Amino acid sequence: MSTPLVFKFGGASVKDADSVRNVARIIGLFAQRPMVVVVSAMGKTTNAFEEVVGYWSRNELELAKEKIGAIREFHFEIIEALFEEPSAVKSDVQELVNQVSAGIDRADLSYGEAYDFIVHHGELISTKIIAAFIGRITPTVWQDTRLLVQTDDQFRRATVRWLETTTAIHNRLDPGKVNVVQGFIGATASGKPTTLGREGSDYTGAVFAFCLGADSLTIWKDVPGMLNGDPKIFQNTRKIDRLPFNEAIELAFYGASIIHPKTIQPLKKKGIPLHIKSFINPTAEGTTIGGVDRATPEVPNFILKKNQALLQLKTKDLAFIVEHHLSAIYQLFVDQGVVVNLMRNTATKAMFCINHDPFIVPSVLAELTDSFDLELVPEVELLTIRNYQKEDELRETKGLNILLEQRTPEVVQFVFNRF
């Protein structure tokens, strides 16, 4: 197949009938090329299916079925607004709805397997609707990602098996058509559906681009591109026009949420640029990641992580904190799934800024309390500024109660609260 365009549309770009029409318009601008269109579940459908999983796990099957009914109605309304003859698409969707309903009656599934089985229907349903709608303007084929993206059986965070996936993609895609595929999902060798982790459709886009050796991947968003900070949090943010892969990986590491962190790796490996463009203004330039050594413009980047806790540990006998303490603490963090975003130790104290998970943190404290004096400061936030100037730092930290500060020539980080 000659190198196809790979596009990814997320939930927000297909949240109602008007946005689906807009997606079709964008595809129409490019449809003279072979194309793979990766699509997420519509709007908040994945969250809705997660509620179904919750009911299933508590054996509240009536509530689960009610919720599935509501999900069906949400999609039926969109179908009725989009199609003059909605019955064929409706019956496709009804079939998928019946499949989920039958699935929740099964008690033999593990939590992870049931989660993936239920939740992956969001993408199956959205792509049925979108493929049918695009099919009215250009030759289109609905493809089943479960036959394309092959994974292991770590349900809810499956790992892609690259060789099998590459072969399946090459064998099954139709080079003469727009191939509509589901993001976020895959299947095991025995055909059990899996998912790649929440917000994983960006990553699916990168998987297709990698396996096809595509010229680029385009992720269509509701923002003009990648900004140097979240405009809901920071003032005077600017669009970044071009960014090297390494810097994008670093920004994802510090918590910039615009792209799923795993997305960049496969693209970087093959030097495939990633375009982030606005589905509201599709001819505007957006941001391109990759293919350059330096960002343009070279601006500081601001990243805020909320919902953090500052955990401070002191040895009981005021002995120095040394390697064997740290190694035991980190082993516990690994075992319990604690996410450490910043760490610092002094002679007798180790400090960790961690994600404040309401289940994990209390159990970790219980484990540590025999060996250390503990202090936990809840409700802290972590501000990271890359490529900082003194004035950026002064402006952004004004009025904050800073508890811990750490800097290298490129990056400065502050753990603070707002009291």
Binding residues for Mg ion, rule: CB under 5 A, are: 11, 40
Cβ at position 378, least distance to ligand ASP in Å = 27
Task: For the chain, report the end-to-end CA distance as a whole number of angstroms.
Answer: 59
| Interface with ligand ASP, residue 201, by CB under 6 A | yes
DSSP one-letter code for 160: B
Cβ closest to ligand ASP, residue 8 vs residue 72:
8
* 55, 184, 245, 416: residue in contact with ligand ASP (rule CB under 6 A): 184
Answer whether 275's CB lies under 8 Å from 205's CB: no
H helix and E strand count, the chain: 13, 18
User: Can you tell me whether residue 347 is helix, strand or coil?
Assistant: coil
What is the Cα gyration radius of the chain? 24
Binding partner selected for residue 312 from Mg ion, ligand ASP, none, CB under the kind-specific 5 to 8 Å limit:
none
For residue 375, give both structure tokens.
Answer: 């202090």
Cβ closest to Mg ion, residue 206 vs residue 412:
206
Total interface residues for ligand ASP by CB under 6 A: 12
Q: Which stretch binds ligand ASP (CB under 6 A): 100-108, 186-194, 198-206, 342-350?
A: 198-206
* 186, 193, 200, 229: residue in contact with ligand ASP (rule CB under 6 A): 200
* 41, 78, 114, 276: residue in contact with ligand ASP (rule CB under 6 A): 41
Phi, psi at 251, each rounded to 5°: -65, -40
Binding partner selected for residue 290 from Mg ion, ligand ASP, none, CB under the kind-specific 5 to 8 Å limit:
none
* Exposure string over 22-58, b if 16+ CB within 10 A, otherwise e: bbbebbeeebeebbbbbbbbbbebbebbbbbbebbee
Q: Which residues, other chains included, contact 267 with Cβ-Cβ below 8 Å and sequence gap of 6+?
A: 206, 209, 210, 217, 245, 273, 274, 289, 290
Cβ closest to ligand ASP, residue 48 vs residue 361:
48
Cβ at position 8, least distance to ligand ASP in Å = 8
Cβ closest to ligand ASP, residue 263 vs residue 301:
263
Q: Which stretch binds ligand ASP (CB under 6 A): 196-204, 216-224, 317-325, 400-408?
A: 196-204
Answer whether 130's CB lies under 8 Å from 14's CB: yes
Binding partner selected for residue 113 from ligand ASP, Mg ion, none, CB under the kind-specific 5 to 8 Å limit:
none
C-alpha to C-alpha distance for 306 and 349, rounded to whole angstroms: 24
Q: Which of residues 328-387 bind ligand ASP (CB under 6 A)?
A: none
CA 285 distance to own-chain centroid: 23
Cβ closest to ligand ASP, residue 11 vs residue 225:
11
* Exposure string over 159-187, b if 16+ CB within 10 A, otherwise e: ebbeeebbebbeeebeeebbbbbbbbbbb
β 274-278/287-289 pair status: antiparallel
Instruction: Let me know how long the chain is.
Output: 419
DSSP one-letter code for 339: P
Binding partner selected for residue 183 from ligand ASP, Mg ion, none, CB under the kind-specific 5 to 8 Å limit:
ligand ASP
Cβ at position 384, least distance to ligand ASP in Å = 24
Amino acid identity of residue 85, one-letter, is E
C-alpha to C-alpha distance for 277 and 32, rounded to whole angstroms: 19
Cβ at position 212, least distance to ligand ASP in Å = 20
Binding partner selected for residue 184 from ligand ASP, Mg ion, none, CB under the kind-specific 5 to 8 Å limit:
ligand ASP
| Interface with ligand ASP, residue 116, by CB under 6 A | no
* 40, 166, 301, 413: residue in contact with ligand ASP (rule CB under 6 A): 40
Nearest-CB residue to Mg ion? Answer: 11
| Interface with ligand ASP, residue 46, by CB under 6 A | yes
Three-class SS of 86-141: CHHHHHHHHHHHHHHHHHHCCCCCCHHHHHHHHHCHHHHHHHHHHHHHHCCCCCEE
Q: Which of residues 122-151 bind ligand ASP (CB under 6 A)?
A: 122
User: Can you tell me whether residue 188 is helix, strand or coil?
Assistant: coil
Residue 226, exposed/middle/buried by CB under 10 A (0-12, 13-18, 19+)?
A: buried
For residue 194, give both structure tokens.
Answer: 């899996």
| Interface with ligand ASP, residue 198, by CB under 6 A | yes
| Interface with ligand ASP, residue 14, by CB under 6 A | no
Cβ at position 290, least distance to ligand ASP in Å = 21
Cβ at position 50, least distance to Mg ion in Å = 11
Q: Which stretch binds ligand ASP (CB under 6 A): 27-35, 173-181, 195-203, 406-414?
A: 195-203
CB atoms within 10 A of CB 139: 11
Binding partner selected for residue 200 from Mg ion, ligand ASP, none, CB under the kind-specific 5 to 8 Å limit:
ligand ASP
| Interface with ligand ASP, residue 205, by CB under 6 A | no
Which residues of the chain form contacts with ligand ASP (CB under 6 A)? Answer: 10-11, 40-41, 46, 122, 183-184, 198-201
